[in-house]
Amino acid sequence: MPAPDDRPVIDTSAPPEVPVRLVDDFTPDLIDVGAHHLCPGCGEPIAMRSIMEVLAEQGLMQRSLAVFGIGCYTAFSNNLDCEVLQALHGRAPSLATGAKRARPELVTVTVQGDGDMVNEGLQEVLHAAARGEAITCVLLNNGVFGETGGHMTATTTLGQRTKNTLEGRSSAEHGHPIQAASLVAGLDGAAYVARGAVNNAGNVAKTKRMVERAIEVQLAGAGFSFVEILTMCPTGWFIETVDAPDYLADTIGAVHVGGVLKDTLADA
Ligand SMILES: Cc1ncc(C[n+]2csc(CCOP(=O)(O)OP(=O)(O)O)c2C)c(N)n1
Ligand code: SF4
Ligand SMILES: [Mg+2]
């Protein structure tokens, strides 16, 4: 830290030659407003930003459709400058299937949470993957039903504390977590399956590359693509915001391990 006397003196008597830049100047083209109503430290807006950056960078702004499930991320759909459809709980893959079959030129991406996809509609995403639908399904996995108060979901890891597993999830009482990406990767119609996270800058960059690849696979008509993204939920986890990135690594990140599970285009 420079001593106080060494600090540069900023002349505020006239407007700056280079105008200041606001947070909204840094938002991708497909995000209308950067400000949102999700909790501070929530990982979902970071994941959404990566998806929107990819669509904008690939010049797909005029032909993108996002189909949302129901969860905290749904509120963020109001910030997006692309076509949005709202599905019933768990049903986004079917809605996306219909839209894509009717309008094959659309780049169609679903956004669902772990509660929405893995608890309420697991058969939807599995059947869409098995059929090899040319859509991209994104799972925002925070291991809890965030919007409704932080309850256990099917992806909650053993020992993880949630609102209704205060002593931690136990296999004897609550069963074992479902590994959604691994299930999808086992289906022949799934062409690309990867799992990323947004708990540090390196993981955000890797996750963005996974989304890029999933969209490439969709554009190539190679089959179904799937990206699971682990996201922080400090509110639903009942922890300090600042502790959430490390908590993610120690809990859901230790079980739902990151990486590319399948890439049939690369293997071809
Ligand atoms: C059919 C139906 N069941 C339950 C609900 C209540 N509900 C709304 S959001 C939500 C939790 C969604 O959890 P998740 O998909 O993991 O998203 P998160 O909030 O964690 O981002 C639930 C259970 C509902 N809206 N409709
Ligand atoms: S409850 Fe969790 S998932 Fe919902 S906005 Fe807050 S931090 Fe994000
Ligand atoms: Mg969730």
> Would the pLDDT of 1 be above 80?
no
Tell me the best of 38, 138, 148, 248 to mutate to test the pocket of ligand 1, counting ligand atoms within 8 Å of each CB and taking the most: 148
Count Cβ atoms below 10 Å from residue 263 Cβ, excluding itself: 18
Per-residue pLDDT band at 6 (split at 50, 70, 90): confident
Of 110, 112, 259, 126, the residue nearest 196 (C-alpha): 259
For the chain, give the DSSP string. ---GGGSPPP--SS--SSPP--GGGGS-TTBS-S--SSPTT-SHHHHHHHHHHHHHHTT-GGGEEEEE-SSGGGGGGGGBSSEEEEPSTT-HHHHHHHHHHH-TTSEEEEEEEHIIIIIT-HHHHHHHHHHT-S-EEEEEE-SEETTTTSEE-TTPPBT--BTTBTT-B-HHHH-PPP-HHHHHHTSTTEEEEEEEE-SSHHHHHHHHHHHHHHHHHHHTT--EEEEEEE---HHHHTS-GGGHHHHHHHTHHHHS--EEEEEHHHH-
Distance from CA of residue 7 to its chain's centroid?
41
Cα–Cα dist 49/30, whole Å = 9
pLDDT in tens, 130-189: 999 999 999 999 999 999 999 999 999 999 999 999 999 999 999 999 999 999 999 999
Alpha-carbon span 116 to 2, nearest angstrom = 51
Q: How far is the CA of 142 from the centre of ligand 2 (A)?
A: 9
d(CA 189, CA 93): 14
Rounded distance from Cα 264 to ligand 3 centre (Å): 29
Beta bridge partners of 162: 165
Residue with tokens 């979901």: 153
- Nearest residue (CA) to ligand 2, atom 1: 146
Residue that wins the pLDDT comparison between 3 and 246: 246
Give the ligand whose atoms come closest to the C-alpha of residue 37.
2
Identify residues whose C-beta is under 5 A from ligand 3, the ion: 113-115, 142, 146
Nearest-10 Cα torsion for 132, 136, 140, 145: -60
What is the structure's pLDDT at 23?
Answer: 66
Average pLDDT score over the chain: 94
Task: Give distance in angstroms: CA of 236 to centre of ligand 2.
Answer: 6
Residue ranges and CATH numbers for the domains of the chain are 36-267 (3.40.50.970)
By alpha-carbon position, which residue is closest to atom 8 of ligand 2?
42
Residues 52-111: tens digit of each pLDDT: 999 999 999 889 999 999 999 999 998 898 899 999 999 999 999 999 999 999 999 999
Query: Whole-prediction pTM value?
Result: 0.92
Best mutation site among 114, 147, 232, 248 for ligand 1 pocket (most ligand atoms within 8 Å of CB): 147
Closest atom, ligand 2, to C-alpha of 232: 7
- Atom index in ligand 2 nearest the CA of residue 41 equals 7
pLDDT in tens, 208-265: 999 999 999 999 999 999 999 999 999 999 999 999 999 999 999 999 999 999 999 8
**Residue pair 87/124 in contact by the 8 Å Cβ criterion:** no
